[in-house]
């Protein structure tokens, strides 16, 4: 029960930060959820400093957005299959509600 509450609190905090700092992005729920998942894994400061945020703000094409997510699939200099799958799931959620 404690772990579930910690998870809920963390996700709520990330949601609050995103909604407070970037209300002008007018994100659909699935886009918002994808960014929260991304931020949960990498930290909100990483999202704020990312090309992903910049490209969302400038309405870049889906190809840019996909690349912005999958750029974060490395451990050191090697692609991690687990991180690649996670980033792929996030951009699919962001772009296509999947």
Supply the pTM of this predicted model. 0.87
Token pair in block for residue 88: 């792929």
Q: Is the pLDDT of residue 60 over 80?
A: no
Q: Which long-range contacts (CB under 8 A, 24 or more apart) does 77-82 make?
A: none
25-29 mean pLDDT:
91
The confidence score (pLDDT) of residue 61 equals 72
Helix 2-21 × helix 29-42 angle, to 10°: 120
Q: Domain limits of the chain?
A: 2-96
pLDDT band at 21 (very low <50, low <70, confident <90, very high): very high
The confidence score (pLDDT) of residue 59 equals 80
Quote the Cα angle for 55-60-12, to 5°.
Answer: 45
Q: Is 15 exposed, middle or buried (0-12, 13-18, 19+ CB in 10 A)?
A: middle
pLDDT band at 6 (very low <50, low <70, confident <90, very high): very high
The confidence score (pLDDT) of residue 98 equals 73
Token pair in block for residue 7: 């998870």
Q: Which class is 2-96 in CATH?
A: mainly alpha
């Amino acid at each position: 029960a404690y772990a579930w509450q910690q998870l809920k609190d963390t996700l709520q905090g990330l949601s609050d930060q995103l909604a407070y700092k970037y209300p002008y992005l007018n994100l659909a729920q699935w886009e918002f959820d994808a960014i929260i998942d991304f931020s949960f894994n990498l930290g909100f400061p990483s999202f704020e400093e990312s090309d992903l945020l910049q490209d969302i703000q400038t309405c870049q094409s889906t190809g840019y957005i996909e690349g912005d997510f999958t750029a974060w699939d490395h451990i050191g200099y090697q692609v991690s299959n687990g991180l690649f799958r996670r980033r792929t799931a996030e951009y699919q959620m962001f772009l296509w509600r999947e």
